[in-house]
Amino acid sequence: MATADESMSTWSDATRTVREDEDAEGEDGGNGGGAEQQQQQQQQQETVRVSPVALITAGSAGVGAATARLLARRGYRVVINFSHNTERARKVVGELQQLSRLPAHEIQNDEHEHGNAYLAIRADLGRREEIGRLVRETVVQMGRLDVVFSNGGWTKFRDMTSIEDNTVEEDWDMCFNINVKSHLWLMQAAKKYLDETEGAFITTASAAGIYPSGSSLAYSVTKAAQIHLVKNLAVMAAPPDPRQQRQPGAAFNPKTKFQEWSDRFSEQAKDAYRQKTKLKRFPTVEDVAEQVLTFAKSRSMTGVNIPLDAGFMV
């Protein structure tokens, strides 16, 4: 695994822009007014062109929205995907505009063909053709694609002690469609754009994919399939050209057991979980977002699954 220093020195052009933005934090950014205006405008246009782009599916709530907020703060342009709730997605886009550290002309610039740094695109992850359209629209609107956070998931709560309750065929079809196939369709649609940027493909798994647990048998089994899918995708995503510096990676993201944001669990259940973890805490959506950013930046991780469980399984 690369050290932090190695990663920082060899990160792609797009991310160098992000790092420069980070380094410039706190500085006034003024240029004394004497600089050539034309050169400045050209520079601004160039910045619009090179800022990296992240597509986050299921991005208007939970893990997806938290990751969108973090990436916006770190200089990424972000497309969030949603399916039903337009108002919620619009609100998240507004938040991203507020959180962004990009210069104002990059956040919204009607003069430039890729002038809007934050967008929401409706697409149902259960439909393959919509996934293809989502990727095409993202690239048309943003001009490039550097990170795909394939975060969509589906479940229906069932009694995990009952085989009868876990043999509803519609559950299995929905779980396979969203938890497995949607990630494959998305990777297929995005691969050529990620190859161009030496980008990263990251998905969200679950503790249920590692050991028998979770909301339903169909969820648990399809999350395990998702983890295996990603290992295989890492093989297919490996660069054929050895001169290519960075592997467009299929990194695999977090195992989480109970998570605070879901508010689906009683205080008693949360406390019982917390007591079983080595770190005596719940993973939060912000923890997951940080892990996604680490994956996005890493030059040496691919095909891995990182349990993010505060030491529950240790």
Q: Identify any residues that bridge with 71 across adjacent strands, giving them in sequence order.
A: none
Give whichever of 64 and 199 is closer to ligand NAP, judged by the CB atom. 64
Q: Name which position in 50, 109, 112, 124 contacts ligand NAP (CB under 6 A).
A: 124
Size of the site for ligand NAP (CB under 6 A): 25
Q: Name which position in 138, 166, 206, 305 contacts ligand NAP (CB under 6 A).
A: 206
Q: Name which position in 75, 153, 199, 249 contacts ligand NAP (CB under 6 A).
A: 153
Give whichever of 125 and 229 is closer to ligand NAP, judged by the CB atom. 125
Q: Round to whole Å and give the CA distance between 93 and 87.
A: 10
The secondary structure element, H or E, covering residue 200 is strand 200-203
Q: Round to whole Å and give the CA distance between 167 and 170.
A: 9
Give whichever of 7 and 179 is closer to ligand NAP, judged by the CB atom. 179
Burial of residue 157 (CB within 10 Å: 0-12, 13-18, 19+) is: exposed
Identity of residue 72: A
Question: Cα–Cα–Cα angle for 75, 80, 82, nearest 5°?
Answer: 170
Stretch in the footprint of ligand NAP (CB under 6 A) among 6-14, 78-86, 160-168, 295-303: 78-86
Residues numbered 217 to 256 that lie near ligand NAP (CB under 6 A) are: 256
Counting contacts by CB under 6 A, is residue 188 touching ligand NAP?
A: no
Counting contacts by CB under 6 A, is residue 83 touching ligand NAP?
A: yes
Residues numbered 253 to 282 that lie near ligand NAP (CB under 6 A) are: 256, 259, 262
Stretch in the footprint of ligand NAP (CB under 6 A) among 41-49, 60-68, 96-104, 157-165: 60-68
Residue 213 has which token pair? Answer: 């647990």
What lies within 8 Å, CB to CB, of 37 at 6+ separation is: none
Q: Round to whole Å and give the CA distance between 313 and 278.
A: 9
Residue 118 has which token pair? Answer: 């934050």
Q: Identify any residues that bridge with 148 across adjacent strands, giving them in sequence order.
A: 55, 201
Q: Round to whole Å and give the CA distance between 101 and 106.
A: 10
Give whichever of 62 and 132 is closer to ligand NAP, judged by the CB atom. 62
Stretch in the footprint of ligand NAP (CB under 6 A) among 37-45, 102-110, 151-159, 185-193: 151-159
Give whichever of 89 and 217 is closer to ligand NAP, judged by the CB atom. 89
Using CA atoms, how far residue 104 sits from 17, 33, 94, 107, in Å, is 15, 17, 13, 5
Give whichever of 81 and 302 is closer to ligand NAP, judged by the CB atom. 81
User: Rounded to the nearest whole angstrom, what is the least distance from the CB of residue 310 to ligand NAP in the complex?
Assistant: 13
Counting contacts by CB under 6 A, is residue 292 touching ligand NAP?
A: no
The secondary structure element, H or E, covering residue 77 is strand 77-82
Residues 203 and 150 sit within 8 Å (Cβ to Cβ)? yes
Taking alpha carbons only, the member of 131, 252, 151, 138 closest to residue 197 is 138
Q: Name which position in 166, 204, 247, 277 contacts ligand NAP (CB under 6 A).
A: 204
Q: How many CB atoms lie within 10 A of CB 30?
A: 6
Q: Name which position in 52, 64, 75, 249 contacts ligand NAP (CB under 6 A).
A: 64
Give whichever of 89 and 301 is closer to ligand NAP, judged by the CB atom. 89
Counting contacts by CB under 6 A, is residue 63 touching ligand NAP?
A: yes
The residues that touch ligand NAP, with contacts defined as CB under 6 A, are: 58-64, 81-85, 88-89, 124-126, 151-153, 204, 206, 256, 259, 262
